[in-house]
C-alpha cells in the first residue's frame, strides 16, 4: 500500500476546483482594481461610507420641507370655492419643498392602507409644492396647480388617488380655475411671476 507523503500541504492533494481560494495579501488603494488603476471598484469595502456618521450633518443643497400656513389656507379656500365639500380640510396637509430636482410643480401623496391600519387613523392626503417652480407662477397659475392636485382626491375621500384621465386633466383644471374666488387668488399673490403649469 502506498503511503502519502505529508511534506506537501493537504490542500494541494485535492482537485483544483475544491481548493480554498487564497485571499490577496496586498491591500490596494481605495477604489483601485488590479490591472485597472484608473477605474474605481464599486466593490471596495474601504470606499463605502459608514451607514451612520455621528454627529450627522445635513449636506449642502439637501431636500428640506416646511409647513406653510398661508398656502395651506389658500388650498382650503380653493376647495371651498369649487364646492369640493367631500374634502376634509383637517385631513389635507400642505408642505413646501426646497432643493428638489423634480420637474414637477406639485405632487399629492396618500397614506397607504397598511400604515393607516397600523396607526389607527383615517384617510389623509398631503400636497407638496416644489418652491423652485411653484413660486414663479402667477396667482392664477398657482390656483390651476392646486385645482389639478385636488382633482386627484376621489369624492369618497377613501384614501386613494384618481389617475390622470377624463376626471383629472389639464383642460378640466383650467376650466375650474376660472371659478376660483378672488380671495383665494389674493392669498396666492406676491410669490413671483410666471405662467401656468400643471403636473
For cell 428640506, name the residue.
Answer: 64
Ranges 41-55, 167-181, 183-197, most confident: 167-181
Spatial separation of the C-alpha atoms in residues 193 and 103, rounded to whole Å = 18
**Domains of the chain with bracketed CATH:** 64-188 (3.30.2010)
- The CA distances from residue 179 to 44, 69, 76, 85, 111, in Å, are 60, 23, 14, 15, 30
- Mean pLDDT along residues 78-93: 94
90 three-class SS: helix
- Mean pLDDT along residues 76-80: 94
List, as own/partner pairs, every contact residues 151-159 make where C-beta atoms lie below 8 angstroms and the sequence separation is at least 24, other chains included: 151/176, 152/108, 153/84, 153/86, 153/87, 153/92, 153/108, 153/125, 155/86, 156/86, 157/86, 157/87, 157/88, 157/91, 157/123, 158/123, 159/110, 159/111, 159/113, 159/116, 159/122, 159/123, 159/124
Output helix, strand, coil percentages for the chain, rounded to the nearest 5. 35, 15, 55
Copy the grid coordinates of residue 113.
392602507
The answer, yes or no, to whether residue 32 has pLDDT greater than 70, is no
120 backbone φψ class: left, alpha, beta (φ>0; ψ -120 to 50)? left
55-72 pLDDT, tens digit each: 545 566 678 999 988 999
Provide the pLDDT for residue 19.
59
- Mean pLDDT along residues 70-75: 93
* Cβ–Cβ < 8 Å for 74, 184: yes
The answer, yes or no, to whether residue 135 has pLDDT greater than 60, is yes
Q: How confident is the model at residue 194 (pLDDT cuts 50, 70, 90)?
A: very low
Query: pTM of the full predicted structure?
Result: 0.65
Provide the pLDDT for residue 141.
94
Amino acid at each position: 500500500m502506498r503511503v502519502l507523503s505529508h511534506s506537501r500541504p493537504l490542500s494541494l492533494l485535492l482537485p483544483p476546483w475544491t481548493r480554498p481560494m487564497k485571499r490577496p495579501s496586498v491591500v490596494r488603494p481605495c477604489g483601485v482594481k488590479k490591472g485597472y488603476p484608473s477605474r474605481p471598484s464599486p466593490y471596495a469595502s474601504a470606499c463605502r461610507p459608514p451607514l451612520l456618521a455621528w454627529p450627522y450633518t445635513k449636506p449642502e443643497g439637501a431636500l428640506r420641507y416646511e409647513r406653510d400656513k398661508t398656502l395651506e389656507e389658500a388650498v382650503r379656500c380653493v376647495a371651498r370655492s369649487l364646492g369640493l365639500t367631500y374634502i376634509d380640510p383637517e385631513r389635507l396637509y400642505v408642505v413646501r419643498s426646497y432643493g428638489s430636482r423634480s420637474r414637477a410643480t406639485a405632487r399629492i401623496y396618500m397614506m397607504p392602507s397598511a400604515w393607516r391600519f397600523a396607526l389607527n387613523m383615517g384617510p389623509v392626503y398631503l400636497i407638496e409644492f416644489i418652491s423652485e417652480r411653484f413660486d414663479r407662477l402667477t396667482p392664477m397659475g398657482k390656483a390651476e396647480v392646486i385645482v389639478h392636485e385636488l382633482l386627484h382626491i376621489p369624492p369618497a375621500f377613501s384614501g386613494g388617488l384618481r389617475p390622470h384621465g377624463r376626471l383629472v386633466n389639464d383642460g378640466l383644471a383650467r376650466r375650474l380655475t376660472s371659478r376660483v374666488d378672488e380671495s383665494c387668488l389674493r392669498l396666492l399673490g406676491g410669490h413671483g411671476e410666471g405662467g401656468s403649469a400643471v403636473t
